[in-house]
Chain A
Amino acid sequence: MTDAVEGAARPLIDNTDSKRPHGLLLVAIPVLLMTWLIIWPIISAIGRTIWRPDAEGNVGFSLSSYVFFFSDQYSLNNLWITLWTTLMCAILLLVICLPIAIYLRFSSGRIPAYVQALAIFPMFVPSIILAYAFIRVLGPNGMVDILLNAVGLPKIRTPYLTPWGPVIGLVWDNIPLTVLILLSGLGNVANHAIEAARDVGANRLQVFWHIILPRISNSVLVAISFAVLGIFSSFTLPYLLGPAAPEMMGPFMNRTFREVNDPLNAITQAVITFGFCIAFGLFYVRSVARNQGK
């Protein structure tokens, strides 16, 4: 993908004199669709939540829906559980995926190929099937309970319908892209840099800390940003695997919009999730654009 885009920056035939606008016509429909269904809803959501009628019907600047959110204990609990879940997932993803990616980078043969195939595999399992498999394996009287019972051990305390349920599901779901992004970053670590460090007596931990980590820090941040954007407002897995209360922002927004039938507060919640993710989103877009533009 990237290599091809590089070609665009330096076309074989230099047609700088043909800078005509008729290309605009061909891209008009997708661009208009994107403007109407992505850019406009975001602007409209912000506008409608800060610029709205007060008690007398005069339209004006008002932050009352935000004041309500941040003074409502139930909303705050939901925000808190979302932040906790996102943080736990980010930590677990790094702890799981970094060793896998480093192992894959510095080994070859059939076992690494198998490990990589497994690490990519969840990308091809829809999250709805994942949720079902989770319940059958870790749910009450699930497969893990069956196996523990067979060897005479007590049952587990099932993570199903606890805050750990969504954490486990979301980590499972996000392993493939995290591994791929980290692996791509590890491609920038030159073998001779590691050999040189080894030659002067550095141990594995020192090599990781002083040679590998500084070179992949950007990829780590991209992987985290991507995971955070996906996890913070995830819906399906928290809805099916998480507790009813407190609930993550995704199920909370869904319930406010559909069951409570309160679009204004649902949009307020959406804008608040935008606010919490804006830094990750900007960083992510900057990285992708920079990579594509290289």
Chain B
Amino acid sequence: MERFIPAIFGPPKVEPNRAPIDWIGIAFAALLSACIIFPLLVVGTWAFTEVWRYPNVIPQQFGLRFWGQTLSRPDVWGALMLSLQLSTVVTLLSAAICLPAAYAFARLNFPGRNILFFSFLAGHAFPKFGLLIAIAAIFLQLNLIGTFWGVVLIQLVGTLLFMIWIPVAAFQSVDRRMEEAARDVGAGPLRVFWSITLPQAGPTIAAAVLLSFVGTFYETEGAWLIGAPGIRTMPVLMISFINNQMVIQFGAVLSVMLWVPSFIALMFARRVIGGGAFARGFGG
């Protein structure tokens, strides 16, 4: 996995003049491995452990027993299905309303275009949970607390910036001269869009859609605040597993399962997230 990341996130390169042993680099690599990879390895080990009592460094017994137990819990299945449903609905709605808007921002000139484009930053200028409380107060009056559609709305708002800004960049990177050429030989606007614009912008847009699906799948705070008690998504279920100190392995198995979508996102991210451009997008 690490092999792929340098290709995307490669630092600005400086020509090496000589190659002494990179002690600083080795120290950073060792420290970061211990702080970032090691905890995740521990979780991975717990997921495949049947017995691991305190003073032992290695689990006494490995096995898949707790996978069976976790997967046979109805609340796990309910939460998984609900999370997949929510993520699908939110992503489809988001694509349906954001992609046309992204096209308009990228290609059409209309009054207030710039101010509206940057207004989507507003949600990121405020501390998130404070904003969620303010929204929850509105939802309370509308009886949307604890409902499926309340959670859909709150998660939909969270995807707006992402699903507009990345596709805008994708539409703008399409070669306009190819579109003009197609139009010159008589292709209609729809044909041009379908045959020229979409194939070029498609991969980036697909990655944005996927990232928004994964982001929604993991969204915890909105689902926790707006969804409770009726709507229990995977991350919300995981919180209650941690709080209630249930069988340790349940949490570990869920973590490993939950991490799979993240892994897919990681694979796709190398297409969308170009190191410097991404950081500049965050204002760096």
Residues of chain A at the chain B interface (Cβ within 8 Å)? 1-5, 7-8, 11-13, 15-16, 18-24, 26-27, 29-31, 33-34, 37-42, 44-45, 48, 99-100, 103-109, 111-122, 124-137, 141, 143, 145-147, 149-150, 172, 177, 180-187, 191, 219, 222-223, 225-226, 229-230, 232-236, 239-240, 249-250, 253-254, 257-258, 263, 266-267, 269-271, 273-274, 277, 281-282, 284-285, 287-289, 291-293
Contact = CB atoms under 8 A, between A and B. Distances in A.
B38 A191 contact: no
21 contacts: A1-B277, A2-B280, A4-B172, A8-B106, A12-B176, A23-B113, A31-B116, A33-B97, A40-B138, A103-B24, A108-B11, A111-B22, A132-B43, A133-B39, A136-B252, A181-B282, A183-B276, A184-B284, A225-B283, A234-B129, A281-B126
A288 B282 contact: yes
B134 A21 contact: no
Given A33-B97, A115-B25, A125-B262, A132 B131 contact: no
B85 interface: no
B24 to A, nearest CB: 6
Most buried by A among B26, B29, B133, B242: B133
Interface of B: 2, 5-6, 9-16, 19, 22, 24-26, 28-29, 32-33, 35-40, 42-43, 46, 54-57, 97-98, 100-101, 103-106, 108-114, 116, 118-131, 133-138, 140, 153-154, 156-157, 160, 164-166, 168-170, 172-173, 176-177, 180, 218, 220-221, 224-225, 228, 235, 238-239, 242-243, 248, 251-252, 255, 258-259, 262-263, 265-266, 269, 274-284
A1 B166 contact: yes
B262 A23 contact: no
Given A118-B32, A270-B134, A126 B112 contact: no
A282 B133 contact: no
B101 A235 contact: no
The A interface is mostly helix, strand or loop, or mixed, namely helix
Contact of A236 (B32, B109, B116, B221): B221
Contacts of A24: 104, 110-112
Contacts of A284: 124-125, 283
Given A105-B11, A146-B56, A124 B160 contact: no
